Structure 1
């Protein structure tokens, strides 16, 4: 699975680096059309996670994951021949829907196979994913340097073929027993036991206020992604004297630190309570990152460069913590017998952030200047404490329910 993820992310890295230029120079779209295309794909991606979770409760996860990869293979091949904007809009939206669904299914599959070693697997997954993104970006740089229509088409084909290879690797991976993450009841008494009390039959994640609160609070706990990829580069260009050549260094810093440190961070977050405590650390790291960005504009060339690099390190530190704590809490706060559908809903947090985060940063935070960064850091730090407290309370309640003996079923 780790090799499959590396190849998947390599293909995704190729597409991420080349898609805007492909739509602009090969298809001939203007900036407004490209923005609408990418915005619509982001909205479609939000539905990918809950849809994948819903299906995983009913069908084998491995089969669904293979299907998601083949769906992306087909839609990317269609992009080579589709030039009509309306059809392209549909194709890109379906591609992103499959992309988000595949990522959720990957983690559902890994959660079942890895068991209590979820944190270790998540660390290895993050390391391989970052290595894959870096590899994909490097391959895309070669094609972009050539700059011809044929070069762009080769990049898209490379991305599509990566999904075909990944589907084959998943097909060869042995699937654990059971279709999804559902734990079937052992007998009549289970229907009134602690697990049922945690998530009554037919209730589901959409009617579980406690879990929805966790998902809602988890959205700002993913802002490190937009801060690193959008906020820091744009702030460098628009508000500091740092050289533009520094921008690629942010990705290098992020990739190297994740590959080197993710396993060590995961080793310190092995339980649900440790994961809840780590959420507070996310808030501290994000606040410090935002504070450095707020002051970067007053530091001159060297001062601004040092502040921006330090901010990239802190954003990466937040990512290292979040990548472990977020998924661990999503798993542990969900009832065992309905984890697939619950984790599908939890996956929406990252998708919503990817759509709303860039708008928040560019339209609100950076428009407000240094005060905007300080406000954002303060808000995320405060919400991280709320998330920590809320998660611990739900864990306490679930533990009490597990200790409560089941009520014997009545037979007439």
Structure 2
């Protein structure tokens, strides 16, 4: 592992990432941003409950509505990035969230908090889209390697933030909760200052991207292509929504299934997140090599579908046997869903870039970013209200459905990118 993206190899890559100095600064800004996100994720529900005194129902509605608002952030950021400098837009997103988090500390009621938290989530999704658009421009043909490094940096930052939050939550006072929210706000100020030190990345062609019909409307047709008129790209984005379900399976499905339907020890729940964070930091760079370019990116979809299918089979089997059998099976499921996440996180963005025409890439990637936002809103209720309600059979159906959709996405993308039928590629490989 030392020579393939883990340990010293990862540290060396972080010191000298694709894109040079600006990429290195952006990775640091991203890690700082995600450290604040870790603070928020670990403390927000308790802050809303014990400091602002919202009921469980109000908290659920507030966070759910904010998640819906976040869906708008990706296409809005993409649309603006086609007209304004990405660097200044990203700084604006950081400063916007700095202001809204400050307002969260000043607001006390549900009605006042709802628009403030909603705008915070909108800015959060917009920032993520702008960060990756920055990556596609500054890293060029090595954007997959940069995406892998950004995932490692982001997860490391998130883990640090969650660890700091654990200390604050252990104190459990109102001042401690407020300090955690303030820490998140300050992370945006630091991230904005770091982004200010970078230069606006130049727009340029993406090596390996198809020209003309394969990548979308031809750029020389006289009319600027748009993602909302591109049925093929919209089909890709629609199928990409279930390709993001690994996020909800890890964060919602595994913990609730363990607690409600198995005899595994409850102390195993935080182990899932620790395992996920460590593996993403250590393995993301080496796994990313399996998703570089159109052929590998399309083949990665099949691997993702297979991993999710086996993971769901393990979830169904966890109800059979005693506590230790359930614990081992669920840990195996956590490992599989993490491997699926590693594969999806780079292949999904690589395909989103390759399928987009060059002169409208910002708008296209903004629309592609909606897939993750929609899944974050729809995934948890799908798992709790449909899959888990159906018992072990629900997991088997989910796994088969995701695997089938992965095959469909593979064929659609391979056809649009002109990389040949999957079966021929597999034999050649």
**Matching of residue 74 in structure 1 with residue 99 in structure 2:** yes
After TM superposition, give the deviation of residue 291 of structure 1 in Å: 0.2
Structure 1 position 342, deviation (Å):
0.1
Deviation at 1:334, TM superposition (A): 0.3
**TM-score computed with the length of structure 1 as normaliser:** 0.92
C-alpha RMSD of matched pairs (Å): 2.0
Partner of 2:376: 354
Deviation at 1:393, TM superposition (A): 0.8
Pairing 1:63–2:88 present: yes
How far did residue 340 of structure 1 move? 0.0
**Superimposed CA distance per residue, residues 21-61 of structure 1 (whole angstroms, 9 cap, x where no aligned partner):** 00000000001100100000000000000000000000000
Residue number in structure 1 paired with 2:218? 197
Q: CA deviation at 1:147?
A: 0.8
Alignment correspondent of 1:374: 396
Matches within 5 A, 1:219-234: 219-234=241-256
Q: Compute the displacement of 1:252 (Å).
A: 1.1
Within 5 Å, give how 1:202-351 maps onto structure 2: 202-351=224-373
Q: Provide the secondary structure at the position in 2 that maps to 1:58.
A: coil
Q: Residue 100 of structure 1 aligns with which residue?
A: 125
Contact 2:67 2:377 in 1 (8 A): yes
Partner of 1:11: 36
Q: Could you tell me how far apart the structure 2 residues matched to 1:199 and 1:223 are?
A: 37
Counterparts in 2 of 1:199 and 1:208: CA distance versus 1, 3 Å: farther
Q: Over residues 80-120 of structure 1, what are the superposed CA-to-partner deviations in whole Å (9 max), with x where a residue is unaligned?
A: 11112112100000000000000000000111000000110
Contact 2:40 2:184 in 1 (8 A): yes
Cα-to-partner distance string for 1:190-241 (whole Å, 9 max, x where unaligned):
999x975369524400010000000000000000000001100000000000
Aligned equivalent of 1:53: 78
Aligned partners of 2:191, 2:185: CA distance in 1, in Å?
A: 10
8 Å Cα contact 1:57-1:182 kept in structure 2: no
Task: Specify every segment of 5 or more residues in structure 1 that has no aligned partner in the other structure, as ranges.
Answer: 184-189, 399-412
In structure 1, C-alpha distance between the alignment counterparts of 2:408 and 2:212, rounded to whole Å = 32
Deviation at 1:177, TM superposition (A): 3.0
* Equivalent residues of 2:314, 2:332 under 8 A apart: yes
Q: Structure 1 residues 383 and 106 mapped into 2: Cα distance closer, same or farther (>3 Å)?
A: same
Q: Output the CA distance in 1 between the equivalents of 2:251 and 2:36.
A: 18
Distance 1:195 1:390, change over 3 A: closer
Q: Secondary structure at the match of 2:291?
A: coil
Q: Give the TM-score, by structure 2 length.
A: 0.88
| Partner Cα separation in structure 2 for residue 206 and residue 176 of structure 1 | 26
